[in-house]
Structure 1
Amino acid sequence: MQVFDHAAVEAALDWPGLIAALRDGFASGAAIAPARQSLAIELPGGETATLLVMPAWEGGRAIGVKVVTFFPGNAAKGQATINAGYLLFDGADGHCVAAIEGDALTARRTAAASALAAEYLVRRDARVLTVVGTGQLAMAVAEAHAAVRSYDRVLVWGRSPEKAQRVARALAAKGLAAEAAADLESACRAADVVSCVTASTQPMIRGAWLRPGSHLDLIGAFKADMRESDTLAVTQARVFVDGRPGALLAGDLAQPAAEGAFDPAAIVADLAELTRGAPGRRDATERTLFKSVGLSQEDLLAAMQVAAG
């Protein structure tokens, strides 16, 4: 059994290769992924953590399972809120092929999925990317989006200006024209693409801030009580998702649907449908929205690429 640590995962999953692997995997539809299991874990002191179990397989080729913990209280302690591990098995005889550090795997495949969606949904002339959030995913989504579009500016906003500045400096060191944004509204109004990677339970992104032709990438909120956008941001856009069942359970879509403001039937396409020819962006003025919560297929495809070296 091979063991891949954080550095090895990042080295194996370059953005163009990973995005291409996801595109090919979704287009083929070979991977099978049951609904993930989400378990609430009550902690001493009244906090609640979440345990996610996410299996997927491609018959005769590979079987994988990711186990994820979400401890929202860790943010106040300066610790990672999400931790994960991945086991990959041979699909022909069932032996364990690899143990893979799950945080890097999750960050890379999550960002790559948004970048894949961006290939179909973001204007070719997009020049300003705003990243909302400064946690584990902020660097990855900026790099992944920059792999499919050429941005003149990357704005980073976070509740902590110091963290936003650190992320911006790190991105600048990688060659991106990144800078910290002092004001969220201004950063959104300036953006062609807004990518949100927060654990917010209240809308942060207002639809009124998003100009015609913009693309909103919603990643952070994966439960019904989590939400990064207001109702207008959803209803004014053509909505796309990574997968319908999971995305409709997340607050960004579930709450507007409960209000009667959003019809789930209005979802235009998921990632598999986009890769198979479903129409993405139609013109330069429409607003698009991509809501992702993470799919087990993405983990499996990424893990297979890691193990293949």
Structure 2
Amino acid sequence: MAAAVDAVREAFGELRAGNFVLPAREVFGDGAVLVMSAYHSPTRTAVVKTIGIALDQVPAIRATVVWTGAGEQLVADGTSITTLRTGAVVGVATDLLAAADATRLTVIGTGAQSADQVRAVLAVRRIAEVTLVGRDAGKAAALARALSEEFPEVKFGSGTDIDAGVGDAEVICCATSSSTPLFRADALPERVHVNAIGAFRPTMSELPRDLLASASLVVVDQEEAALEESGEVIDAVESGALPRTSLLALGDALADPPTPSGRTVFKSVGLGPQDWAIAKLLAES
């Protein structure tokens, strides 16, 4: 995960520098199938990912990644790459925006993305306590047990009460397919960093409008993608609660790091350069 975080951080620098050709994501069948691609001009390498999504199945996301370079090609399981690169970008954002001494993490959601959300935050912060919150108490407890074996130095807990889970958190990761906000802004501490990666359609939303309106920083992976695909960002901007000019692209934030205070938010819908970064690591290993 640490290598993935570094690779994704570098990829966002390359994106800001204009070194990627990044076509818009193709969406078919009302979001049942997605196709993402990215071409890195300096290395003349490209990645293409096809994704099938069925939220009523396990796993909900099945994908294949093809990475192509000069005279070489790699085909890999896109499902694993997606969870890894999504975790990695959360690691990048958490390292940038969360309190340096943060020790308490809450993850909302217990699906395929959740474990790599935990791994990513633990890669950039000395987290002592992790709370896993999900609708299914048994599933949340099972994930906590599995992760406690991987990270025996960390205290893991689980439950179904979201408000209780976020009440004293210093870092929060939202990894659900919710169509309505998961919590109220007034349930959060005054100083907290919130990552949201689960909602990837305009009809989906994990964050309340008033959190985006009151946050000191709202960072997105890319402004254009967020305004096209993030339900919570679209709602906040169209309602006037969040000025579009307040959105800060991750690449810009990395180039000129802000001074975080109060509540901060990172919203990701996922970009091709993230897949490219992980596939490149695989190709070079």
The interval holding the TM-score normalised by the smaller chain is over 0.9
Contact 2:91 2:121 in 1 (8 A): yes
Contact 2:49 2:66 in 1 (8 A): yes
Q: 1:73 aligns with which of 56, 80, 83?
A: 56
Q: Secondary structure at the match of 2:107?
A: strand
**Letter of the aligned partner of 1:53 in structure 2?**
V
Q: 2:122 aligns with which of 146, 160, 171?
A: 146
**Letter of the aligned partner of 1:17 in structure 2?**
A
1:83 lines up with 2:62 in the alignment: yes
1:246 lines up with 2:225 in the alignment: yes
CA shift, 1:275, in A, is 2.1
| 2:166 aligned residue | 188
Contact 2:96 2:257 in 1 (8 A): no
Q: Secondary structure at the match of 2:21?
A: coil
Contact 2:135 2:160 in 1 (8 A): no
1:155-190 alpha-carbon deviations (Å, 9 max, x no partner): 000000011001111110111321113421011111
Structure 2 distance, partners of 1:172, 1:230, is 31
Structure 2 residue runs of 5 or longer lacking an equivalent are none
CA shift, 1:277, in A, is 1.8
| 2:246 aligned residue | 266
| 1:54 aligned residue | 36
Q: 1:133 aligns with which of 81, 89, 109?
A: 109
Q: Secondary structure at the match of 2:256?
A: coil
Overall identity of the aligned pairs, in %: 30
| 2:47 aligned residue | 64
Contact 2:53 2:61 in 1 (8 A): yes
1:200 lines up with 2:178 in the alignment: yes
Structure 1 residue runs of 5 or longer lacking an equivalent are 1-14, 42-48
Q: 1:291 aligns with which of 254, 267, 280?
A: 267
CA shift, 1:96, in A, is 5.2
Contact 1:129 1:151 in 2 (8 A): yes
1:50-78 alpha-carbon deviations (Å, 9 max, x no partner): 2111010112431110001111222xxxx
Structure 1 distance, partners of 2:268, 2:111, is 17
Where has structure 1 moved over 3 Å in runs of 4 or more? Answer: none
Equivalent residue runs for 1:153-172 within 5 Å: 153-172=129-148
1:91-114 alpha-carbon deviations (Å, 9 max, x no partner): x4xx55110100000000001001
| 2:95 aligned residue | 119
Q: Secondary structure at the match of 1:69?
A: strand
Contact 2:136 2:160 in 1 (8 A): no
Q: 2:157 aligns with which of 179, 194, 199?
A: 179
1:39 lines up with 2:21 in the alignment: no
Number of aligned residue pairs: give it: 277
| 2:8 aligned residue | 22
- How well do the aligned residues superpose, as a CA RMSD in angstroms? 1.4
| 1:232 aligned residue | 210
Deviates more, 1:108-117 or 1:240-249: 240-249
Q: Secondary structure at the match of 2:115?
A: helix
TM-score (norm 1): 0.86
CA shift, 1:266, in A, is 1.2
| 1:10 aligned residue | none
278 and 35 in structure 1: CA distance in 2 versus 1, 3 angstrom threshold: farther
CA shift, 1:128, in A, is 0.7
